[in-house]
Amino acid sequence: MSAEAQGQTARLTRLALMTAAALALHVAESWFPVALPGVPGVKLGLANSVTLLTMLLIGPRDALAVAVLRVSLGSLLGGGAMGFAFSIAGALLSWAAMAGLRALFREGIHTVSVSVAGALAHNAGQLAVAVIFSGWYVFSYFPALLVSAVATGAAVGVCVGLVRRPLERARRAQ
């Protein structure tokens, strides 16, 4: 097998592992009740932690693939068309915000900041879909979504920061 083929195989293997981890977290998170009673859809966003980790370790293009595959497979496993609409809007906007910040600031921005921006964008995407399907009244959830995005985005950013360093060391040791 050529070096190029080995590299491609290794990349696809990493993407498959990251997608499986994101999907497992996506499904596991669906088993828990809503994080904020009275505010539909608020969750910690553990699956997005894998998207962020993929972006930091592998790159934004592969992170987009993980996000889209996770949302698609998660919807097939139980989210349905409506769940897909909410999830894909949130995932794509979250990815765009995180990738944009990473491209703009490179390593000069903290993982928590990137994660919070992703959480805010994710909630904005889901709120946009909610407006389309339900009407403008859903903006009454905006303050709670804003607070939850900052809190959950910070928590996810801290977790990703803690996991990222050992994974980078292990990758360099190969």
Q: Are 25 and 136 in contact (CB under 8 A)?
A: no
Residue type, 119: A
pTM, entire model: 0.89
pLDDT at 40: 66
Full residue range of the structural domain in which residue 86 is found: 3-173
DSSP for 37-87 reads: TTSTT----HHHHHHHHHHHHT-HHHHHHHHHHHHHHHIIIIIHHHHHHHH
CATH number where 84 lies: 1.10.1760.20
pLDDT at 37: 65
What contacts 63, CB < 8 A, 6 or more positions away? 51, 52, 54, 55, 95, 98, 99
pLDDT at 158: 95
Give the total number of structural domains in the chain. 1
pLDDT at 33: 67
In order along its 174 residues, the chain shows pLDDT tens digits of 788 878 788 889 989 999 999 999 988 887 876 666 666 667 788 889 999 999 999 999 999 999 999 999 988 887 788 889 999 999 999 999 999 999 999 878 899 999 999 999 999 999 999 999 888 888 888 888 899 899 999 999 999 999 988 888 887 777
Q: Which of 105, 100, 130 is nearest to 118 (CA)?
A: 100
For 81-100, b/e burial (b = at least 16 CB within 10 A) is eebebbbbbbbbbbbbbbbe
pLDDT at 15: 93
